[in-house]
Amino acid sequence: MPPAGAVALRRLAFGSVLLCLTVIILGAWVRLTDAGLGCPDWPGCYGHVTPAGAEKNDGKIESFSPGWEYDSGKAWREMIHRYAATGLGLLIVLITAIAIAYRREKPMSVVYAVVLLATVVFQGMLGAFTVWWLVKPLVVVLHLAGGLTTLSLLFWLWLSMRRTTRIVQPVAGATRIAALDRARTAAIVATVVVGLQTLLGGWTSTNYAAVACPDLPTCQGRWWPQGMDYKDAFVLWRGLDINYTGGVLEHPARVAIHFTHRLGAIIATLAVLFAAWLAIRRAPTTLVRNAGYWAVGALSLQLWIAFAMILKAFPLWLATAHNAGAALLLLAMLVLNRRLREA
């Protein structure tokens, strides 16, 4: 029977993974509906815990941001995201506390718990700077990176503590071992590529470049669009006193960003398929083989969402699902890495 600390941590880890995934999806929903500055202060909303408090005092709204147009829907969307993120932070504090309290049982590494806690604290700071610096694209992408890192750490923790029955077949010969090593390396590379592609998607979204290529499979009617502006497309720092809501880039720069994201999607697709193929081909267990199939399935779902999103003229629900699909693909790659490591 597992120690009490391990049982509690496993359950908390699973709940935290689900909540973290929810926070990431809510963050995409906030970003896609231009609600990132629905509350121009942090951590409250116009000096109140809820937008309802601000609505009762119009003067308070005006004093916070003279001339600022208050939007109740955007304010509530922003605060719902913050409430969920706060709940996630509290769960991670609890995970860290249990890891320290039960350190003699060693249900998890205390160092790992502290790193997880530091990550979510840093993530909260990035959330504040996202508001204070007027949804600056660089900060928004770093905030997304922090969310994905938190999700990955929580999911890896859950995978590490999950009880599974493994039937491992003997691996015979240096050739078979070398093949498994190649599969592990390919899975790590593919996971990194998926992560970078997700961040590139965040850059595309926060610069309002998603609709720059409304056609498929071409972009602006060409296989290689003319007049793309790469000089301005990936400038990371443009100053602080700029409101990036609605975007500040001209159309040629947005086309360059979107087209680069498409090229990245091709590279990520090939990397995931190659890693999954190696894993399935050399799988010493059913668990490894299934992990490879799950990676291919998650990739297929994400590609379908991307195609449907463009063909249906970027409806909000599909754009939000595209962010969720990216997170699920990352989780599928983590499962593949874990199963190959166990093999």
The structure tokens listed for 281 are 């081909």
Does the annotation mark 105 as catalytic? no
Which SS3 state, helix, strand or coil, does residue 217 take? coil
Q: Where are the alpha helices (H) located in 162-250, listed in sequence order?
A: 174-206, 230-233
Please pick, among 62, 78, 105, 342, the residue that the annotation labels catalytic: 78
The residue to which tokens 């063909």 are assigned: 311
Which one, of 87, 119, 104, lies nearest residue 12 by Cα? 87
Which one, of 267, 206, 266, 264, lies nearest residue 236 by Cα? 206
Tell me if 153 sits within 8 A of 115, measured CB to CB.
yes
- Angle at the Cα of 75 (from 74 to 78), degrees rounded to 5? 85
Which SS3 state, helix, strand or coil, does residue 188 take? helix
Q: What is the DSSP string of 137-184?
A: HHHHHHHHHHHHHHHHHHHHHHHHH------PPP--SHHHHHHHHHHH
Find the length of the chain.
343
Q: Which residues are catalytic?
A: 78
